[in-house]
Amino acid sequence: MSERMAGPTGSTGATSSTSTALLTDRYELTMVQAALADGTASRECVFEVFTRRLPPGRRYGVVAGTGRLLEALPQFRFTDAELDYLREGEVVNDQTLDFLANYRFTGDIYGYAEGEVFFPGSPLLVVESSFAEGVLLETLVLSILNYDSAVASAASRMTSAAGSRPCLEMGGRRAHEQAAPAAARASVVAGFAGTSNLEAGRRWGLATIGTAAHSFTLLHDDEPSAFASQVASLGTQTTLLVDTYDIAEGVRRAIAAAGTELDSVRLDSGDLAQVAREVREQLDSLGAAGTKIVVSSDLDEYAIASLAVAPVDSYGVGTSVVTGSGAPTCGMVYKLVLREGADGRMEPVQKASAAKASVGGRKSAARRLEPSGRASEELVVAGAAADWQPEDEDLRALLVPLVRDGMVQPGTTGAEGVRRAAARHAASRAELAPHSRRLSSGDPAIPTTHIPLPG
């Protein structure tokens, strides 16, 4: 591995007991107030998360953040601190404060398994609950899924371009400090091998990486002293940063300090393809054929693809992955599609706004697979319950239970949730034809077809 990588230690689940209830918008609470007053708050409803389109040039998206959402859900509680804030700010009335004090989500949530690829119109998450219970979750759901899915969608393009060479997430300093662990987690869901972010490692059992920056070399009186100090402390299974001064001299000094058993050298500047070739030749001539080359320096999926024929062993990616590589959100929306009417019957509802229309009614989804295992079509099935299972053998159901009667389903959170999500992504992306994973612009990898419930 390119950098010293630490395995998971400590807690592997959500660590914060802080309420997530105010990670929301004011109008969700004022809607509940009005609905409580007119008697509609308890009406059964179905909300759906979907995106109308993919970012320009993208052929698929990646669902990520589901595990984080499910970790946040039990913490969606209005404690005395949140209620006092709402009361003092006169945000809602006393009736609503009483309702919020006892708020617990007791409904069901289905969704695409975390790590699954998705396309426009896919019913990515389905929330079945009373209006009041479900509407309060809108902003929490969207803020987590939109960001994490944007990062994972970018990360998937990078790991696809990298092939068998590992990608390492190093973007924490380019993100909000609370977003950085989320970005690290999402990148691992999409195939990254590790992260420099220790909080992400602690929360979800991710492998962590990192050795030294240029400042460590500059601290010492000369480069040989810096390298000798690092090797003395960390051993030869470390990565020496060789481009603080002259690269060729840095490589020579690195091998002099660590010997030919040095794990890796890192390049963080210059024409990476050319420099990597020169460094590879130099390492081989010094007898360090097993010493690997790590490259960083503002890499994105296009830069990674351009280095495919260079003698690079792994890629350190920062800014581009934590910002979604030009697409920092997936444009997901949370819409009411079915609600209980005054007569007690469930009725489809939908928006008709220009360019922002929604499709009413319950929906489920399946992916059609050819005998070769390649995906050929996404089916959105109108009128189907979220737990619908297709009878056709060539269809793979996409929605899985995430929350039942308010209880988060096992295996969806913590370290296990990340492992499952990473495996699901690898399998899901492998179903796409190779041309669908190219970086060039094009239509979605497979078409989406809306059909009525068979039979």
CA 124 – CA 121 distance, rounded (Å): 8
Verify that 164 and 308 share a domain, yes or no.
Answer: yes
The residue among 104, 110, 99 whose CA lies nearest residue 41 is 99
Same domain, 57 and 192: no
Instruction: Report the distance separating Cα 332 and Cα 144, nearest Å.
Output: 10
Q: For residues 351 and 438, what is the distance between their CA atoms, to the nearest angstrom?
A: 35
Does the residue 3 lie in any domain?
A: no
The pLDDT value given to residue 3: 54
SS3 444: coil
Question: What is the DSSP annotation of 322-371?
Answer: HTGGG-----EEEEEEEEE-TTS-EEE-----TT-----S-EEEEEEE-T
Query: Do 20 and 42 share a domain, yes or no?
Result: yes
CATH code of residue 397: 3.20.140.10
Give the tokens for residue 325: 């590589």
- Which structure tokens are listed for 403? 């929350």
Same domain, 365 and 421: yes
CATH number at residue 156: 3.20.20.70
Domain that holds residue 232: 151-326
What's the pLDDT score for residue 11? 41
Other CB atoms within a 10 A radius of the CB of residue 163 amount to: 9
Q: Is residue 143 part of a domain?
A: no
Both 318 and 346 in one domain: the answer is no
pLDDT score for 2? 42
pTM of the model: 0.94
The Cα diameter of the chain in Å comes to 83
pLDDT digits (tens, 9 = 90+) for 365-397: 999 999 999 999 999 999 999 999 999 999 999
Which parts of the chain sit beneath pLDDT 70?
1-17, 354, 455
Q: In terms of domains, do 277 and 158 share one? A: yes
For residues 309 and 424, membership in a common domain is answered with: no
Reference 262, options 283, 245, 279; nearest CA is 283
Alpha helices in 170-271 (DSSP H): 179-189, 198-204, 214-219, 223-234, 247-258
Q: Which two tokens stand for residue 137?
A: 């979750």
Distance of CA 276 to the CA centre of its chain: 30
Q: Quick one: pLDDT at residue 13?
A: 44
Domain's final residue, options 326, 356, 388: 326
Rounded to whole angstroms, how far apart are CA atoms 401 and 165?
A: 34
| Number of domains composing the chain | 2
